[in-house]
């Protein structure tokens, strides 16, 4: 008898648009409610305007998931997208994005991951994968060049990430990459992530819960098709130059390879922008003992890189108890100083634990930090106090399994704090927990957090580049003047590189001019740097329109009261708050939006969004 | 007068020339040294010292040191 859960669809025959290079021209659509599997071939115009990744993801979500859809209902969709450079030999272009409506923020949300999964999806012959509906029992997807299967996950549901990954590859055979959820995603924890080959994460926004709500445990992909390139000779030439830049820049050639992302700890701590104790402090005295340098000395087993990456910033590490990967800079901070914890081994083990359970390390740490401060204020007792290592590890498990008060923390810091009357202790913007930068000492970063269309995210504008790192040029981190224009510039170009998709770290060494040339060589289309800026601006504005349609407004473009009203008490940023108001006024004006943050008609015309 | 000199990331290798504990070294200097002169006197190539903070604030190699300053020196780094 035909079983819809083992439906196999042969996909040779539908080859997409053969005139396209870089893109395969094919997007796979799987409906878990009725087991229907289709291959779609979007118009070339859509690819040209949105490129891929975050751009295509947002465009599809705009069309298909409206304000009536609850993020955890079957009508929400998971849109996995690669970009035209994914799977080519462009350095750091092995990435992919997942776009959905976030159960944590309610905004459009794209999460972006390295590893090798994205390259394999592309090499299986697909630019993207859309998953919709809800299965009637736990399943996982198996995708390769010849077919797609919806497999029963009965014996796999309930397993943690490494066990599930092993069980899935045990069934599919070797050569597959697995993106899957752990118990947190299954239990609809709103800060659940999706792990990719155990160690890289689609971390933010709780998209693991969207997978869990669909009863989709994992997606295994395998592929070895070659990505068609329009002008291989030109590509080789631009690659030669691009690789030279990566090798010549100390950030990508030394700092990240030698010390990983946690190389930032000491610099940010010395600047007084390294928050601690739920942002009560802006320095952490024991920072050096948990820095990238300390990881290299005490925990490092070996260095590791994503598909096609010469930087290799990932760390395989070992504590006295176990081996794993990380912690990355943000994770280390969230599970460490944010919670008043300075024991590197405990932090690494908390990080491994989050990875096994499928929890976003940033949101988990910041939500627990919030609970710790609320306990100090007698508002809620989650059994943890600042500095309590054992309590931290136990509470992480309770969140993933929604045990006791862990079930309240599983809703994220904003909802948790509101339930117990401590809203001011939730360090979040639009529901997304803030990462490891105190914006009181980096004003533009504050503007970036407030205006990010996926909530409190460092990567949208990444203003620490010019404000602290001096990349590409140093500006005054305490100044507000000029920050709006700079933030817009970076938000736009970063949206474009998230569509290509290129790792943010490569962008620290290679300018957008090279990315335009790489894109042109791969696709055969005439992309110029200004086209990337325009595409990024289009993506940014469409994301804004999406959030406005969801009911967000300019009143949501703000920061936790602490950062606006409580001056930093100690250290080099002492006395500062984020002076958001004037920056925000400039920001709306320079964006071509009205005073309430709504894009003006002329701006939409300029970007080709008028008919949307 | 004396200043505190802190060297990080790949510059830590130059700590061996300094008698200090942990990452901090108290360095006795004659008055009127600049950051660049201090680094030079310690055998630290200026081109590697791309990010210099004095008391947490960005400073150039020509900054004139004051008694009690904390000088934190990094190569060009990034991440996140």
* DSSP label at residue A508: G
Which residue in the set B51, B76, B79 is minimally distant from A313, CB to CB? B79
Residue A532 clears pLDDT 90, i.e. is over it = yes
Query: What's the pLDDT band for A1 if we cut at 50, 70, 90?
Result: very low
B44 CA: distance to closest CA in chain A (Å)? 16
A344's tokens: 């590197």
Distance CA A519, CA A2 (A): 44
- Which tens digits make up the pLDDT trace of A279-337? 999 999 999 999 999 999 999 999 999 999 999 999 999 999 999 999 999 999 999 99
- In this prediction, residues A407-414 reach a mean pLDDT of 98
**Closest residue in B to A504 (Cα–Cα):** B79
Which chain A residues are within 8 Å of B78, Cβ to Cβ?
A: 251-252, 255-256, 264, 465, 469, 471, 505, 508
Output phi, psi for A236, to 5 deg. Answer: -55, -40
Residue A15 clears pLDDT 50, i.e. is over it = no
Distance CA A435, CA A58 (A): 23
pLDDT of the residue at B17: 52
Which chain A residues are within 8 Å of B51, Cβ to Cβ?
A: 267, 469-470
Distance CA A397, CA A25 (A): 42
pLDDT of the residue at A79: 98
Which residue in the set B8, B10, B57 is minimally distant from A267, CB to CB? B8
Q: What SS3 class is residue A108?
A: strand
Identify whether the C-beta of residue A21 lies closer than 8 Å to the C-beta of residue A230: yes
Identify whether the C-beta of residue A192 lies closer than 8 Å to the C-beta of residue A181: yes
**Which of A450, A487, A489, A449 minimizes the C-alpha distance to A467?**
A487
Residue A540 clears pLDDT 70, i.e. is over it = yes
Which residue in the set A261, A271, A293 is minimally distant from B79, CB to CB? A261
pLDDT of the residue at A18: 58
Identify whether the C-beta of residue A51 lies closer than 8 Å to the C-beta of residue A83: yes
Distance CA A467, CA A564 (A): 19
Q: What SS3 class is residue A599?
A: strand
**Which of A435, A305, A449, A430 minimizes the C-alpha distance to A364?**
A435
**Closest residue in A to B73 (Cα–Cα):** A267
Query: What's the pLDDT band for A19 if we cut at 50, 70, 90?
Result: confident
- Which tens digits make up the pLDDT trace of A123-169? 999 999 999 999 999 999 999 999 899 999 999 999 999 999 999 99
* DSSP label at residue A226: P
Output phi, psi for A317, to 5 deg. Answer: -130, 165
Residue A577 clears pLDDT 60, i.e. is over it = yes
**Which of A552, A594, A579, A554 minimizes the C-alpha distance to A109?**
A552
Identify whether the C-beta of residue A360 lies closer than 8 Å to the C-beta of residue A201: yes
Measure Cα distances from A610 to A47, A381, A545 in Å: 18, 51, 11
A469 CA: distance to closest CA in chain B (Å)? 7
- Which tens digits make up the pLDDT trace of A79-117? 999 999 999 999 999 999 999 999 999 999 999 999 999
- Which tens digits make up the pLDDT trace of A247-292? 999 999 999 999 999 999 999 999 999 999 999 999 999 999 999 9
Measure Cα distances from A566 to A181, A414, A479 in Å: 38, 19, 18
Residues 6 or more apart in contact with residue A530 via CB below 8 angstroms: none
Which chain B residues are within 8 Å of A272, Cβ to Cβ?
A: 56
Distance CA A294, CA A299 (A): 8
Exposure b/e, B3-39, CB count within 10 A at least 16 = b: bbbbbbbbbeebbeeeeeeebbbebebeeebebbbbb
pLDDT of the residue at B22: 52
Residue A8 clears pLDDT 80, i.e. is over it = no
Output phi, psi for A323, to 5 deg. Answer: -115, 145
Output phi, psi for A320, to 5 deg. Answer: -65, -15
Identify whether the C-beta of residue B72 lies closer than 8 Å to the C-beta of residue B35: no
pTM (two decimals) = 0.96
A420 CA: distance to closest CA in chain B (Å)? 32
> Quick check: B6 and A255 CB within 8 A?
no
> Quick check: B77 and A572 CB within 8 A?
no
Q: Which residues of A touch B (CB under 8 A)?
A: 249-252, 254-256, 258-264, 266-267, 270-272, 288, 291-293, 313, 329-330, 435, 458-459, 462, 464-465, 469-471, 474, 477, 504-505, 508, 571-573
Alpha helices in A380-507 (DSSP H): 389-400, 406-409, 413-419, 443-451, 464, 483-500
| Predicted-complex ipTM score | 0.94
> Quick check: A267 and B6 CB within 8 A?
no
Q: What SS3 class is residue A294?
A: helix
A269's tokens: 């701590």
Query: What's the pLDDT band for B23 if we cut at 50, 70, 90?
Result: low
Residue A23 clears pLDDT 60, i.e. is over it = yes
Distance CA A501, CA A350 (A): 30
Which chain B residues are within 8 Å of A464, Cβ to Cβ?
A: 80
Query: What's the pLDDT band for A235 if we cut at 50, 70, 90?
Result: very high
- Which tens digits make up the pLDDT trace of A350-395? 999 999 999 999 999 999 999 999 999 999 999 999 999 999 999 9
Which chain A residues are within 8 Å of B75, Cβ to Cβ?
A: 250, 254-255
Which residue in the set B6, B10, B53 is minimally distant from A258, CB to CB? B10
Which residue in the set B9, B57, B72 is minimally distant from A255, CB to CB? B9
Query: What's the pLDDT band for A563 if we cut at 50, 70, 90?
Result: very high
Residue A189 clears pLDDT 60, i.e. is over it = yes
- Which tens digits make up the pLDDT trace of A497-508? 999 999 999 999
What angle, rounded to 10 degrees, do the helices at A580-591 and A443-451 form?
60
pLDDT of the residue at B31: 84
Residue A11 clears pLDDT 70, i.e. is over it = no
Identify whether the C-beta of residue A295 lies closer than 8 Å to the C-beta of residue A270: no
Residues 6 or more apart in contact with residue A59 via CB below 8 angstroms: A46, A49, A50, A542
Which chain A residues are within 8 Å of B8, Cβ to Cβ?
A: 266-267, 270, 291, 293
Triad A505, A445, A507: Cα angle to 5°: 15
Which chain B residues are within 8 Å of A571, Cβ to Cβ?
A: 56
Q: What SS3 class is residue A159?
A: coil
> Quick check: B9 and A292 CB within 8 A?
yes
Distance CA A555, CA A328 (A): 32
Identify whether the C-beta of residue A83 lies closer than 8 Å to the C-beta of residue A299: no
Question: Using H for helix, E for strand and C for coil, what is the string for A47-78?
Answer: HHHHCCHHHHHHHHHHHHCCCCCCCCCCCCCE
Which chain B residues are within 8 Å of A477, Cβ to Cβ?
A: 58
Identify whether the C-beta of residue A100 lies closer than 8 Å to the C-beta of residue A76: yes
**Closest residue in B to A459 (Cα–Cα):** B80
Which chain B residues are within 8 Å of A267, Cβ to Cβ?
A: 8, 51, 53, 72, 74, 77
**Closest residue in A to B52 (Cα–Cα):** A267
Measure Cα distances from A386 to A342, A424, A562, A567 in Å: 11, 17, 18, 21
- Judge if the upstream peptide bond of residue A472 is cis by omega within 30 degrees of 0: yes
Q: What SS3 class is residue B7?
A: strand
> Quick check: A292 and B55 CB within 8 A?
no
Which chain A residues are within 8 Å of B6, Cβ to Cβ?
A: 270
């Amino acid at each position: 008898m035909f079983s819809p859960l083992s439906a196999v669809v042969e996909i040779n025959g539908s080859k997409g648009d053969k005139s396209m290079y870089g893109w395969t021209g094919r997007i796979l659509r799987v409906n878990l409610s009725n087991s229907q599997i289709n291959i779609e071939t979007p118009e070339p115009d859509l690819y040209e305007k949105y490129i891929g990744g975050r751009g295509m993801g947002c465009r599809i979500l705009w069309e298909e998931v409206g304000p009536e859809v609850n993020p955890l209902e079957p009508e929400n969709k998971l849109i996995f997208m690669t970009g035209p450079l994914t799977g080519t030999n462009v350095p750091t272009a092995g990435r992919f994005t997942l776009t959905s409506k976030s159960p944590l923020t309610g905004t459009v949300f794209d999460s972006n991951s390295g590893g090798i999964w994205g390259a394999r999806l592309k090499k299986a012959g697909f630019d993207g994968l859309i998953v919709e509906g809800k299965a009637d029992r736990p399943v996982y997807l198996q995708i390769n060049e010849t077919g797609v299967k919806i497999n029963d996950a009965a014996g796999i549901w309930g397993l943690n990430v490494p066990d599930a990954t092993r069980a899935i590859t045990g069934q599919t055979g070797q050569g597959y990459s697995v993106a899957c959820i752990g118990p947190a995603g299954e239990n609809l924890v709103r800060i659940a992530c999706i792990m990719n080959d155990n160690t890289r994460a689609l971390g933010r926004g709780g998209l693991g819960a969207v997978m869990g709500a669909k009863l989709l445990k994992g997606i295994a992909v395998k592929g070895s098709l070659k990505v068609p390139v329009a002008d291989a000779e030109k590509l080789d030439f631009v690659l030669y130059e691009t690789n030279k830049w990566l090798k010549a820049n100390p950030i990508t050639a030394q700092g990240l390879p030698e010390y990983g992302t946690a190389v930032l700890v000491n610099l940010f701590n010395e600047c007084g922008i390294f928050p601690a104790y739920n942002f009560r402090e802006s320095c952490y005295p024991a920072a050096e003992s948990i820095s990238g340098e300390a990881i290299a000395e005490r925990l490092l087993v070996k260095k590791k890189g994503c598909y096609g990456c010469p930087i290799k910033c990932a760390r395989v590490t070992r504590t006295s108890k176990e081996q794993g990967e990380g912690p990355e800079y943000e994770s280390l901070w969230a599970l460490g100083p944010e919670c008043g914890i300075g024991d590197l081994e405990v932090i690494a083990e908390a990080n491994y634990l989050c990875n096994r359970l499928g929890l976003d390390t940033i949101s988990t740490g910041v939500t627990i930090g919030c609970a710790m401060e609320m306990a100090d204020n007698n508002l809620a007792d989650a059994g943890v106090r600042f500095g309590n290592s054992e309590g931290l590890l136990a509470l992480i498990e309770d969140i993933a399994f929604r045990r006791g008060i862990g079930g309240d923390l599983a809703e994220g810091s904003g909802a948790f704090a509101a339930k117990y009357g401590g809203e001011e202790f939730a360090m979040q913007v639009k529901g997304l927990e803030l990462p490891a930068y105190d914006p009181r000492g980096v004003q533009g970063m504050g503007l970036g957090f407030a205006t990010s269309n996926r909530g409190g995210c460092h990567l949208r504008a990444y203003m620490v580049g010019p404000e602290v790192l001096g990349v590409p040029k140093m500006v005054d981190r305490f100044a507000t003047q000029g920050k709006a224009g700079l933030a817009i510039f970076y938000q736009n170009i970063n949206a474009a590189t998230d569509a290509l998709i290129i790792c943010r770290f490569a962008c620290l060494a290679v300018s957008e001019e090279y990315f335009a040339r790489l894109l042109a060589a791969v696709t055969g289309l005439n992309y110029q740097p200004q086209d990337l800026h325009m595409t990024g601006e289009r993506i940014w504005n469409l994301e804004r329109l999406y959030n406005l349609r969801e009911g967000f407004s300019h009143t949501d473009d703000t920061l936790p009261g602490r950062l606006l009203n409580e001056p930093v008490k100690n250290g080099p940023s002492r006395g500062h708050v984020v002076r958001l108001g004037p920056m925000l006024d400039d920001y709306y004006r320079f964006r071509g939006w009205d005073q309430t943050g709504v894009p003006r008609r002329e701006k939409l015309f300029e970007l080709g969004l008028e008919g949307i | 007068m004396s200043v505190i000199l802190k060297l990080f990331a790949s510059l830590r290798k130059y700590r061996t020339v300094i008698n200090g504990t942990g990452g901090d070294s108290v360095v006795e200097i004659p008055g009127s040294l600049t950051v660049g002169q201090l680094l030079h006197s310690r055998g630290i190539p200026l081109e590697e010292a791309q990010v210099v903070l004095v008391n947490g604030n960005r400073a150039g190699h020509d900054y004139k040191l004051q008694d009690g300053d904390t000088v934190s020196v990094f190569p060009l780094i990034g991440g996140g």
